[in-house]
Every structure is written in C-alpha cells, then in structure tokens.
C-alpha cells in the first residue's frame, strides 16, 4: 500500500514546537459529557480488567486501548469514545491492569506487549455481545498493543474485527525507549517514572518480597526501572530483552485486516524505527500516514473539540471493507 499523504496542516500558532504540541493537550485538554458503564471481567490467571462502556444501541463497536499510565478517562480515550458515539457506534475503553483507579491482584502489571489482555477483552465481547462489526483503535502504548494483537492473530483474527487504526504508536519499542534518554525529553521521562513508581509502591504493599523499595527511590532512568521492575515482574531478562521481545514490529507483517498507522514526524517519543515505511510499501493491509506536525497524541485543531487524528481514525474505521 502506498504511503498516505497526510491532510493535517498543523496546529494553532501558539503550539509552535513538538513539545508544546504534546504537553499542552496532555495537561489541559478536557472532554465533557462522556458517561461510562463499568464492567469488571476476570482473566484466566485470576486477575481482573475494568471495561468502560458507552453504548448507542449500535451493531458496531470500537474498542479503545489507552497509552502508558493512562486509562479510559484520559482526554484522548474520552474523545474517541464520544466521537464514535456521535457517529452512531458503541465504544468500549478498556483499562490495563492497575489502570482505571484500581490496583490489580497479581504481581503482573501491564506493558506495551500486553496484548493478552486486549485478547481477553475481545473474547469477552464476542462471547457476551452480538456486534456485527468491531473496530480496534489504540493510542501510543495502546496502539502497540493493538498492532501486536493483530499480528499475533493474523488470519485467525475473529471475523467480526474489520479494521484497526492507531496513532502516536511506538511500532518499534527499543527505538521509542531510546528517546526517553534524550536530554530534551526529561519532562516525559520524569512524568512517566513518577507515575510508574507509585504503581510499584502499591504493588510492593501487596508483594513486599518481590520489590526493593530502597532501590526504587534511586531509579532515575527507564533502563534501570524496566530492568529491575518491569522485566523482573513480567519474566524478561532485562530492559533490552523486554523491549525487543514485546515490540509490535515483530508481528506486524502478519496483520490481515486494513490497518491505519498515523505517526507524526515530529513526535518526540518515536525513534526512526517507529515509522514502518518499508513494511507499509509492500504490505497492502497497512497504511502509514506521517504528518510533519502533531507531536505525541496532539494533532490539535484550534478551538475544536476533537483533534484532526480522531476524525481521521473514525473516518478510516467507518470505511466499508
């Protein structure tokens, strides 16, 4: 599939660099009038997931996967849900383990490769609802989980799943992780680590023998954090092993449904390998759109309620197959 020429013309003038494009919406954007109905489901390993529904009575459903240390209440998830509902589509925003306001039960938290919990969510929907068409969308980490899930399933993907679309997605996790070492990205590094450390502290209260809180206080970079906590809790050797093992691009060649990836060239959290140009050029199921502007999960349109990318994602998902 040829690369898609982007129609995004850029943000308002006051968002004059990639960091403002990223940070201002993240800190200040709000989406009102979204009401969820929560459902708790149990996983095969004895844990649980919280699913937040917003229904219109449709036979179509969009499943939304959130980003790192996000949840169904983040502005980007609420916006996708609200816009889907406005287009007459039911929406389900699922919360990764420990996200959504409730700490999970097992030592396992969540990570970019936790496609098994997206799989559990999809299987629950298929078993308990009667949707004729299901679409998947993911933002940032949720996009990586979505792409990994699609590739893992390949031609065995449930037939109800017709299309997928993701944005600001670290298709190659080692490349994305490397950006957090850059001096200019210290804001993101400190923000993510601060939130993740609180999760590990809560997990230590549940499993004190697994976690060294004294060492946690000294951790200031993701390599150390992911080696001593993420990798240890999830069965990987170290940070490098974890990044490579779960990276979505290990599976993307097997994706078998039309899938749109929108990654901004100026995204401060995506390295060069996060733009799968060669794969998109030879694989007709994958469409890659690379706006020059947008930042990370930004793509602001002035004073409008929804961003450009949210309209783009929903328009793509609603196309007939």
Render pLDDT for 119-166 as a digit per residue (tens, 0 to 9).
999 999 999 999 999 999 999 999 999 999 999 999 999 999 999 999
Q: pLDDT band for position 320 (50/70/90)? A: low
CB 259 within 8 A of CB 154: no
Model confidence at 1: pLDDT above 80: no
Q: At what angle do helices 115-128 and 141-153 cross, to 10 degrees?
A: 70
Angle at 75 between CA 48 and CA 268, to 5 degrees: 100
Is 82:34 a contact under the CB 8 Å cutoff?
yes
Closest C-alpha among 188, 274, 173 to residue 230: 173
Pairing, β 37-42 against β 48-54: antiparallel
Q: Quick check: 58 pLDDT over 90? A: yes
CA distances from 58 to 39, 91, 166, 271 (A): 18, 9, 22, 38
Mean pLDDT of 273-294: 97
Tokens of residue 109, six digits: 């938290």
Mean confidence (pLDDT) of the chain: 96
- How wide is the angle at C-alpha 43 spanned by C-alphas 41 and 49, nearest 5°? 45
pTM of the model: 0.97
- pLDDT score at 319: 87
Please spell the DSSP secondary structure of 209-231, one letter per residue.
TT--HHHHHH--SHHHHIIIIIH
299 Cα distance to chain centroid: 16
Indicate the fold that domain 18-172+249-317 takes in CATH.
Rossmann fold (3.40.50)
pLDDT in tens, 233-277: 999 999 999 999 999 999 999 999 999 999 999 999 999 999 999
């Amino acid at each position: 599939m040829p690369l898609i020429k982007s129609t995004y013309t850029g943000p308002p003038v006051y968002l004059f660099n990639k960091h403002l494009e990223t940070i201002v919406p993240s800190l200040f954007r709000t989406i009102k009038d979204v009401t969820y109905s929560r459902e708790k489901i149990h996983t095969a390993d004895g844990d649980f997931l919280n699913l937040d529904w917003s229904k219109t009575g449709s036979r179509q459903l969009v499943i939304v996967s959130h980003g790192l240390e996000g949840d169904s209440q983040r502005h980007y998830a609420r916006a996708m849900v609200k816009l889907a509902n406005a287009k007459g589509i039911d929406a389900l925003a699922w919360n990764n383990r420990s996200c959504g306001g409730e700490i999970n039960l097992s030592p396992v938290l969540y990570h970019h490769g936790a496609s098994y919990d997206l799989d559990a969510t999809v299987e629950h929907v298929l078993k308990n609802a009667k949707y004729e068409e299901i679409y998947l969308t993911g933002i940032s980490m949720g996009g990586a989980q979505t792409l990994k899930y699609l590739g893992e399933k390949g031609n065995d993907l449930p037939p109800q799943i017709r299309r997928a679309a993701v944005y600001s997605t670290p298709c190659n996790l080692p490349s994305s992780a490397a950006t957090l070492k850059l001096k200019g990205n210290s804001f993101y590094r400190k923000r993510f680590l601060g939130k993740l450390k609180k999760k590990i502290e809560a997990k230590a209260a549940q499993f004190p023998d697994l976690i060294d809180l004294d060492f946690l206080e000294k951790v200031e970079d993701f390599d150390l954090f992911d080696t001593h906590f993420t990798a240890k809790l999830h069965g990987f050797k170290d940070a490098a092993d974890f990044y490579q093992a779960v990276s979505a691009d290990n599976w993307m060649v097997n994706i078998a449904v039309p899938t749109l990836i929108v990654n901004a060239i100026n995204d401060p959290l995506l390295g060069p390998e996060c733009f799968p140009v060669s794969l998109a050029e030879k694989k007709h199921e994958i469409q890659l759109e690379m706006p020059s502007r947008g930042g990370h999960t930004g793509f602001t349109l002035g004073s409008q309620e929804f961003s450009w990318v949210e309209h783009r994602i929903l328009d793509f998902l609603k196309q007939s197959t």
